[in-house]
Structure 1
């Protein structure tokens, strides 16, 4: 798996147009949003409100970031036959699947941390305000668990479904459900610490379920399934 992980890291970290630019853009959007949010408040923002916003921002960044990475880097590997070449040179399908999930998760974790660290540095420097609190670390952990499950099911769809147009449509549906559905869910829940925790536990449960579903369903993925791709 080390060889496969090294390959995946190299593919991600050497692409400016398909990785660095989208990552920088997402971090810039969240930085501007959080900076404006903190700057618009004359006093300290109540922790309950900021925590709810942190959850929404983390979900948005993780989902959009994962879709951009997979759509721009992983799906083209399948359509161009590069995955077929790797599988024919000794790479096994299940180790390739799980190592790809791990690498994608590590990269997204770095982005998740940066979207909170960079705005906080700016608010401390220019506004003399810090929005860090104890709950932020818990939010990052729970969203990370959900993100691992999200990446798992998305990689599974890429490997399992042969028609690329269906994969792209499913990614659009997943993004819509997570971003807009998650925003609607958080807006309907009362703004209390208890309901913030309920949202986080829902995310954790969804992440665990999606990962174990991938483990079980991923056993049915074969080299033929991955190789026999139907392009758009």
Structure 2
């Protein structure tokens, strides 16, 4: 798996247009939103409100980041036949699937950490306010588990479904469900520590369920399924 992971890291980290630019843009947007929010509040913002904001924003960042990464880098590998070339040169399908998920998750974790750190540094520098608190560490762990499950199901769809148009449509549906559905769900819960914890446990459960689903369903993926791609 080390060889496959090195390949995936190289593909991700050598593309400015398809990876670095979208990642920088995403973090910049989140930084601007948080900076504007902190600047507009005259006093210290209650920790619970900031925690709820970070839960929503972290979910949105993870979903959009994964969508852009897979759409710009992984799906083109399938359409151009590069995955077929790798599989014909000794790469096994299940190790390739799991190593790809792990690499994508590591990269998204770096973005998640930067989403916490960069806005905080900027607000301290220009506004003299810090919104960092101990609960953000717990939030990042729960969101990370959810993100791992999200990456797993999206990679599974890429490997399992042959028609690229169907994959793209399903990605759009998943994005709408996670971002807008998640925002609607959080709006139903009062902003309290108890309900923030409930949201986090829902994320954790969803991430664990999706991963174990892939462990079982991923066994049905064969080289023929991946290779016989039907382009748009």
TM-score bucket (shorter structure): over 0.9
> Which residue of structure 2 lines up, in the alignment, with residue 201 of structure 1?
201
> Which residue of structure 2 lines up, in the alignment, with residue 37 of structure 1?
37
Moved more, 73-82 or 35-44: 35-44
5+ residue gaps in structure 2?
none
> Which residue of structure 1 lines up, in the alignment, with residue 24 of structure 2?
24
| Cα offset, 1:123, TM superposition | 0.5
> Which residue of structure 2 lines up, in the alignment, with residue 11 of structure 1?
11
> Which residue of structure 2 lines up, in the alignment, with residue 164 of structure 1?
164
Q: Distance in 2 between matches of 1:225 and 1:213?
A: 18
Spell out structure 1 runs of 4+ moving beyond 3 A.
Answer: none
Matches within 5 A, 1:37-186: 37-186=37-186
Q: Distance in 2 between matches of 1:19 and 1:26?
A: 11
Q: Distance in 2 between matches of 1:145 and 1:26?
A: 20
Q: Distance in 2 between matches of 1:94 and 1:114?
A: 31
Per the normalisation by structure 1, the TM-score is 1.00
Q: CA RMSD in A?
A: 0.4
> Which residue of structure 2 lines up, in the alignment, with residue 216 of structure 1?
216
Per the normalisation by structure 2, the TM-score is 1.00
| Cα offset, 1:116, TM superposition | 1.1
Question: Which whole-Å deviations, capped at 9, do the CAs of 1:113-147 have from their partners, x for residues lacking one?
Answer: 00110000001111111000111000000000000
Question: Which whole-Å deviations, capped at 9, do the CAs of 1:172-225 have from their partners, x for residues lacking one?
Answer: 000000000000101111111000000000000000000000010000000000
1:145 aligns to what SS in structure 2?
Answer: helix
Q: How many residues align?
A: 232
Q: Distance in 2 between matches of 1:156 and 1:111?
A: 22
| Cα offset, 1:36, TM superposition | 0.8
1:61 aligns to what SS in structure 2?
Answer: helix
